[in-house]
Amino acid sequence: MAARAFTSLLLALLLLLLAASASADGGRRGLHAYVPSRKRAVRGATGVDCRAMASRAECLGKSEWCRWCRSDALDDMCFVSAEAWRLPGQIFSCEAPSS
């Protein structure tokens, strides 16, 4: 019984240390973490809002940073290249502008 209590205490301490060591700016984050400030930074750097583009021609023609992503299950959309890279390949097929 004492061994189980010690193990539980040790596990709780490790989890607390792990939570405390994560930085507030998102330096240690999972693959699916969402950081709104980074999205604004990317959008501001490119000067283009890819999601506002409704057609394939507009998406691929106006910016090298935009990717047109097609889906059989969902609506086709224009994404910033970093967002397009993270989309599940089973659902979306993305294409880059031809150079």
Give me the residue spans of the domains in the chain: 42-99
pLDDT at 98: 78
What value does the mean pLDDT take over residues 49-76? 91
Burial class from Cβ neighbours inside 10 Å (0-12, 13-18, 19+) for residue 32 reads: exposed
Q: Is the pLDDT of residue 90 over 90?
A: yes
Give per-residue pLDDT as tens, 10-61: 777 776 665 655 544 444 445 444 545 544 444 445 578 898 999 999 999 8
The reported pTM is 0.52
Instruction: Give the helix/strand (H/E) hosting 78.
Output: strand 77-80
Q: Is the pLDDT of residue 84 over 70?
A: yes
